[in-house]
């Protein structure tokens, strides 16, 4: 069967993101690897083509059906590009001939920028890992296992895991509808996306988190919230709740090998209207909230909510061009409009042992969002945690406050930015 004879349904998250795409909210996030030598374009292109042989369901383009978008297989092949502009911008995946991702290179770095319409962080990292292995096979003669992947395995990697674990009898969680604090900052010009990355020693960070008897994720979420509380106190008179969108990789709780989206978002919060909070109080509340929400029974409620939105008769019968018009407003009100910001942790990244010596670092950038003009994405690779803020404005108040607080807690941090000035 030819590639262009194939087509794929979008998963539940993908259907939402495909209707939200705009020049500012591109839905693109980035995962990247920095190697020990400059990238050779020709070898990277060959590696990409080999990677698509392993993951043929990524050789697709987004098409608009009457009711829903879908992915259609194609005989075309994406071309690697040298990075020249701001990250995660200037790619219209709805344009004819476009793919829902792109592979960029700059000096020693290979970057995969991919739309949430096709996958999440876990899927993107698996694709990037294969791409790097294929590249180093060509560049450094690193051995690879080129066994043909079975149809059964491909089906596992393309399953809609939301549908697999959906249970009709389970009630969906109540939606949080109410105002939350928003950073009082203005959007920069279209096409501009500012990145600030903090690099922390993982052992130092882990030791400090252990002093509070919490995980690194809870510890950094507490710092994030504390920073936002301080900014709120300095910038507005009327206090509002601080609500953080924290995506959860459902593969950690439910067995699945899918390379599609399989995550839900929990929303830990601190209601600043109740009075001043000590850092230890924020930690204590977050420990309770994370423990309550990160349980399989509770998470199944979030799966239910993800699936029932698609099953809504009114939504199913709404033509896709109309969905494109109403979806951003609905998402703003019931989704990102309810959050102050977002903080996501892709966890500990492990690369195959045969390529580790060639890899200097692994990083990730969050997708730009109008609803949350600033948000952060982090991962851990070898000895370091990389926390990257994505910002659609010229103001760095959150980044400054967050990293200042980390330093006052006795944790050294190295700061990098793509800002020119």
Q: What is the pLDDT of residue 323?
A: 62
Instruction: Quote the tokens at residue 109.
Output: 């770095």
3-144+154-164 with 194-417: one CATH topology? yes
Least confident of 37-46, 77-86, 313-322: 313-322
Instruction: Using CB atoms within 10 Å of the CB of residue 379, give its burial: 0 to 12 exposed, 13 to 18 middle, 19+ buried.
Output: buried
Higher confidence at residue 102 or residue 97?
102
Is pLDDT at 240 greater than 60 in this prediction? yes
Q: Is 214 helix (H, G, I), strand (E, B) or coil?
A: coil
For residues 343 and 399, the answer to whether their CB atoms sit within 8 Å is no
* Range with lowest mean pLDDT among 3-12, 97-106, 357-366: 3-12
Classify domain 3-144+154-164 at the CATH class level. Answer: alpha beta
Say if residue 348's pLDDT is above 90. Answer: yes
Cβ 91 vs Cβ 26: under 8 Å: yes
- Fold classified for 194-417: Chloramphenicol Acetyltransferase (3.30.559)
Indicate the pTM of the whole model: 0.93
- Average pLDDT value for residue range 61-80: 86
pLDDT of residue 1: 36
C-alpha distances in Å from residue 262, one per residue of 161, 201, 221, 405: 6, 29, 22, 33
Q: Which residue has the tokens 């990697």?
A: 157
Q: Which is higher by pLDDT, 137 or 21? A: 137
Q: Report the alpha-carbon angle 192-193-199, nearest 5.
A: 150
For the CA atoms of 215, 216, 219, 220, the dihedral, rounded to the nearest 10 degrees, stands at -150
Q: 3-state class of 109 per DSSP?
A: strand
Among 194-203, 267-276, 282-291, 333-342, the range scoring the smallest mean pLDDT is 333-342
> Is pLDDT of 67 > 70?
no
| Residue 3: per-residue pLDDT | 46
For the segment 118-138, the average pLDDT, to the nearest whole number, is 97
Contact 80, 50 (CB under 8 A): no
Which pLDDT score, from 0 to 100, does residue 2 have?
A: 41
3-state secondary structure of 362: strand
Pairwise pLDDT comparison (199 vs 334), residue with the higher score: 199
Distance between CA atoms of residues 242 and 353, nearest Å: 41
Question: Is the model's pLDDT at 34 over the cut of 70?
Answer: yes
Q: Average the pLDDT over 4-30 and give the result.
A: 76
DSSP-based three-state secondary structure for 70: strand
Helix/strand/coil (H/E/C) assignment for every residue in 216-268: HHHHHHHHHHHHHHHHHHHHCCCCCCEEEEEEEEHHHCCCCCCCCCCEEEECC
Mean local confidence (pLDDT), 101-118: 96
Kindly report the average pLDDT of the chain as a whole number.
Answer: 90
Return the structure tokens found at 151. 């149809």
Q: What is the average pLDDT across 351-356?
A: 95
**pLDDT digits over 162-217, tens only?**
999 999 899 988 776 578 999 999 999 999 999 999 999 999 999 999 999 999 99
DSSP three-state, residue 129: helix
Note the maximum CA span of the chain. 64
- According to the model, what pLDDT value does residue 188 have? 94
Burial degree of 96 (CB within 10 A; 0-12, 13-18, 19+): exposed
Is the distance from CB of 390 to CB of 88 less than 8 angstroms?
yes
Residue 4 near residue 172, CB atoms below 8 Å: no
310: number of Cβ within 10 Å: 17
Shortest CA distance to 55 belongs to which of 6, 116, 107, 108?
6
**Averaged pLDDT for residues 133-162:** 92
| Beta-strand relationship, 109-115 and 69-73 | unpaired
What is the band of 96 on the pLDDT scale with cuts at 50, 70, 90? confident
Instruction: Return the domain boundaries, the chain.
Output: 3-144+154-164, 194-417
Phi-psi region of 90 (alpha: psi -120 to 50; beta: other; left: phi over 0): left
Distance CA 20, CA 43 (A): 35
């Amino acid at each position: 069967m030819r590639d262009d004879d194939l087509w794929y349904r979008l998963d539940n998250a993908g259907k939402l993101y495909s209707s939200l795409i705009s020049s500012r909210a591109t839905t693109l996030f980035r995962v990247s690897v920095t190697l020990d030598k400059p990238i050779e374009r020709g070898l990277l292109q060959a590696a990409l083509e080999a990677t698509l042989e392993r993951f043929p369901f990524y050789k697709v383009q987004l098409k608009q059906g009457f009711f829903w978008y879908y992915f259609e297989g194609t005989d075309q092949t994406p071309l690697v590009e040298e990075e020249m502009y701001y990250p995660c911008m200037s790619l219209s995946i709805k344009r004819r001939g476009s793919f829902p991702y792109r592979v960029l290179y700059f000096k020693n770095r290979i970057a995969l920028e991919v739309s949430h319409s096709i996958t999440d962080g876990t899927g993107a990292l698996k694709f990037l890992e294969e791409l790097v292995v294929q590249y180093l096979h060509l560049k450094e003669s690193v051995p690879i296992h080129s066994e043909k992947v079975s149809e059964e395995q491909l089906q596992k990697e393309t399953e809609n895991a939301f549908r697999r674990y959906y249970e009709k009898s389970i009630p969906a969680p109540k939606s949080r509808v109410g105002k939350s604090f928003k950073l009082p900052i203005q959007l920069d010009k279209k096409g501009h996306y500012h990145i600030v990355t903090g690099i922390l020693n993982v052992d130092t960070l882990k030791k400090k988190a252990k002093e509070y008897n919490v995980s690194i994720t809870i510890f950094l979420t507490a710092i994030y919230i504390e920073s936002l509380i301080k900014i709120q106190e300095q910038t507005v008179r009327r206090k509002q709740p601080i609500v953080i969108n924290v995506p959860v990789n459902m593969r950690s709780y439910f067995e699945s090998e899918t390379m599609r989206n399989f995550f839900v978002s929990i929303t830990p919060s601190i209601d600043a209207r109740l009075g001043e909070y000590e850092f230890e109080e924020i930690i204590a509340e977050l420990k309770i909230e994370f423990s309550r929400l990160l349980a399989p029974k509770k998470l199944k409620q979030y799966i239910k909510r993800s699936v029932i939105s698609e099953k809504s008769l009114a939504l199913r019968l709404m033509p896709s061009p109309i969905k494109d018009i109403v979806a951003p407003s609905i998402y703003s009100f019931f989704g990102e409009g309810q959050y102050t910001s977002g903080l996501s942790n892709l966890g500990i990244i492990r690369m195959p042992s045969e390529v580790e010596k060639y890899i200097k670092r692994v990083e990730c950038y969050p997708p730009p969002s109008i609803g949350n003009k600033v948000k952060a994405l982090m991962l851990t690779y070898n000895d370091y945690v990389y926390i990257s803020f994505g910002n659609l404005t010229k103001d760095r108040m959150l980044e400054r406050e967050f990293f200042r607080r980390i330093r006052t807690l006795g944790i050294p941090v190295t700061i990098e930015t793509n800002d020119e000035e």
